[in-house]
Structure 1
């Protein structure tokens, strides 16, 4: 296991874990639609588990890309539900983290 893979795994654990936590909090608070909170939880779980699959087969990198895109789309939708607009700084940070994760796994 390379150092970049290990760092990427740490980032995915943090990012996926925070996404699951966010989805669970929003599910309980009911500030966003049920399907959106569940998507956050499932997308976060996918992000959390995929490094282990990528370690054995790099083809799972496409699944990670799908989960990251899904999380971005869901975050944009949730921004509209919660604030009525897109927070550009928030999404720039999310994109940067996602890009770093992908680069670390390549």
Structure 2
């Protein structure tokens, strides 16, 4: 492993630990409300912690599905700005690579991308 790769792993390790911890906390909060299959599906399909916890909180409080959809959509709009911020970093990559990278656009990974040397 090169020095640059070691630096990248060292920078990403705290993010990975935080995401893992977050997943455990979300699972504990969502499982009583959704059951295991829907909790797991939510973690696979919804890659936004703020949206996931908002969804759990609103549904637990008895909010309508439309209210939940509206709230998580508004929260998700920030991903447009995050995507625009990292777009220059993805110049020269294939459309399929950009599509795959879009799945990992979260606050933490964008922060890493914007502060890395490349």
TM-score, with structure 2 as normaliser: 0.40
Structure with the greater relative contact order (CA < 8 A, sep ≥ 6): 1 or 2? 1
Higher helix share: 1
TM-score, with structure 1 as normaliser: 0.44
